[in-house]
Amino acid sequence: MTPVIPLADPLPLPAPPGLLWALLQAVFLLHLVAMNVVLGGSILALHWRFSRRSEGAAHRVALLGLFAKALPVAVAAAVTLGVAVLLFVQVLYGRLFFTSSILMAWLWLAVVPLVILAYGGAYLLAFRGEALRDRARGVGGLVALLLAAVAFLQVTNATRALRPDTFLEAYRASGRGLSLNLADPTFWPRYLHVLLGAVAVAALGTALLGVLRRRRDHALAAWAIRHGTTVFGLATAANVFVGMLLLLAQPKPVLMRLAGGDSRAMTILAAGILLAVAAAGLAILALGATNAVPATWAQAGLLAGTLVAMVLLRDEVRQLALRDAGFEHPPWVVTQWAPLAVFGLLLLGAAATIAWMTRALAGSAARVGR
């Protein structure tokens, strides 16, 4: 069907689209990392809770304790950074985002209670974990399930927003706000890509935790590095394959541009694939290394590069899809310099204040530890 895109407001954009775009990519990258730790960590924790292998059982319990304490902070970070993403998505792509959200309104709104419940579960595990005993498995499973459901809804909205040609048909089918997007060929590969990516990031986070704690608890550190590296390698390798499926599921004009028709898009795609393959390969090689620390940091570097490439690639796919649909940013821009400057100053102030508070807390923890 013909793409239907709501008209832009008769108001000027408050900053050049390029600046808003850069801010969107930056906060999305940070949100992605926090979200992957939360979602992937919850799935990984589920594996630790339900594993019956005697080898590493004590280490799994120790890691579960550490993860439970970190989870509320990670959820807070993911939510806070997600709010910033929401803001810049709305100002740049609101016409698509509002429409896709309305088509799945009840489901989209369900994200809020789902995250509240997951957050509540995270706090329960953090502060009442021991008292819960066997019920901690159930709570942990519920938290992972809730977060996976949130990811499912997010993917539904994101894939729908790229297809304004399906808006009218979906709306005519039902205006009650219950539309899913399961018929979209990109949906399932994208959802699987998100889940595997989250597990990979959380697994490498586990390995890095091992690296950072190697002087405090050598045995735990060694197990965490080996376990984290193994899962990271496997999940990343699998995700390269799923990523290919996602690529092939793209609409033909988008696929053609990614495959060579658009040099920038192709370059980003190639960089993303190469970095991911390198990270997975290095993880497999690192399992045989005597000193895994340098290899873990190298994997972290490759993963950071992969994440940047994937964020940019995700945006390229959006640009390519929307260009075909006739979407353009409104040309009327009146930059609001004074509030922009206040924002910049407050951002620096916030970063400095948060860094000071975190350092004060971490420093005192180190003193307590000594």
CB of 343 to other proteins, least distance (A): 5
* Residue of 235, 228, 221, 233 whose CA lies nearest to 207: 228
With respect to other proteins, which residue has the nearer C-beta, 10 or 288? 10
Q: What is the C-alpha to C-alpha distance for residues 209 and 71, in angstroms, rounded to an integer?
A: 14
Q: What is the C-alpha to C-alpha distance for residues 150 and 114, in angstroms, rounded to an integer?
A: 7
With respect to other proteins, which residue has the nearer C-beta, 85 or 302? 85
CB of 35 to other proteins, least distance (A): 14
Indicate the SS3 state at residue 13.
strand
Cα–Cα separations (whole angstroms), residue 151 to 43, 89, 93, 117, 349: 13, 17, 20, 15, 32
With respect to other proteins, which residue has the nearer C-beta, 16 or 260? 16
Q: What is the C-alpha to C-alpha distance for residues 127 and 122, in angstroms, rounded to an integer?
A: 9
- Helix, strand, coil percentages for the chain (3-state, nearest 5): 80, 0, 20
**What is the DSSP-derived secondary structure letter of residue 1?**
-
One-letter amino acid at 90 equals: Q
With respect to other proteins, which residue has the nearer C-beta, 305 or 330? 330
CB of 20 to other proteins, least distance (A): 8
With respect to other proteins, which residue has the nearer C-beta, 89 or 224? 89
CB of 317 to other proteins, least distance (A): 23
Q: What is the C-alpha to C-alpha distance for residues 264 and 262, in angstroms, rounded to an integer?
A: 6
CB of 294 to other proteins, least distance (A): 32
Which are the contacts of 215, defined by CB distance < 8 A and separation ≥ 6?
Answer: none
CB of 176 to other proteins, least distance (A): 5
Indicate the SS3 state at residue 249.
coil
With respect to other proteins, which residue has the nearer C-beta, 219 or 355? 355
